[in-house]
Amino acid sequence: MVRIKRGNVAKKRRKSILKLAKSYKGTHSKLFRTANQQVLKAKCYSYVGRKLIKRVQRQKWISCINTYARRQGKNYSLIISTLKKQNIALNKKILTNIIINDPVTFDYLVFNNC
């Protein structure tokens, strides 16, 4: 029977895992078993983190719009309902950019027909 040698494959796999764990602290970057666990955990966290970033960013946009609206004597829900009634299809990111860069335009869009 022919002997199958696969030491180079295992070494390549371990090396790639240790490369991913390069900046981890202590044995988490030196030993394969702990490094492998940490890399798997980090991949899970990175997936969750990508979703969290979107959620947090949306919260910031909403709070920015609401803060500006409260200064004008209105509230967030009134602004959103006004925009929907006027068939203005701008998302929260664009509305926040308008508030920051050109508040006069935002006032014209929203507060003329309130």
The predicted-structure confidence for 25-75, as pLDDT tens digits, reads as follows 999 999 999 999 999 999 999 999 999 999 999 999 999 999 999 998 899
Output phi, psi for 27, to 5 deg.
-70, -15
Q: pLDDT at position 99, please?
A: 93
| Residue 26 token pair | 């202590």
State both tokens at 79: 């602004």
Amino acid code (one letter) for 67: T
End-to-end CA distance of the chain: 85
Q: What CATH number corresponds to the domain at position 72?
A: 1.10.1900.20
Mean pLDDT of the chain: 91
Q: What SS3 class is residue 2?
A: coil
- Indicate the pTM of the whole model: 0.68
* Domain assignment of residue 2, yes or no: no
Q: Specify if 74 maps to a domain.
A: yes
**pLDDT score of 95:** 93
Name the domain count of the chain: 1
| 18 inside domain | yes
Domain residues for 75?
9-111
Encoded tokens for 103: 């508040």
Identify the band that residue 114 occupies on the pLDDT scale cut at 50, 70 and 90.
Answer: low
